[in-house]
Amino acid sequence: MMRSRHRFFHRKEEQKDHSYDGMQPAMKSSICTGETVAGFLDAGGKFQEVMLLMQESDLELFCRKYGVKKEEIRHIF
């Protein structure tokens, strides 16, 4: 009996990660290397890194995964 292949290879809907609720989304860039990472600022201003941003699609992934808009992201150096 053959099983339908589409059942095993369907695309899962992305679920938002809510572990950073209440924190401000931010991008931090190094003035020396130009490397940019995305993450969150807590109430005390401490930055918690989440992912490296190497291209625009990485930023889009960060926004989808954590349910934030690009306009909400604070850029710090």
pLDDT of residue 16: 56
Query: Which parts of the chain sit beneath pLDDT 70?
Result: 1-19
pLDDT of residue 77: 87
User: Whole-structure pTM over 0.85, yes or no?
Assistant: no
Q: Please work out, in degrees rounded to the nearest 5, the angle formed at the alpha carbon of residue 20 by the alpha carbons of 17 and 65.
A: 30
Write out the two tokens for 28: 């931090």
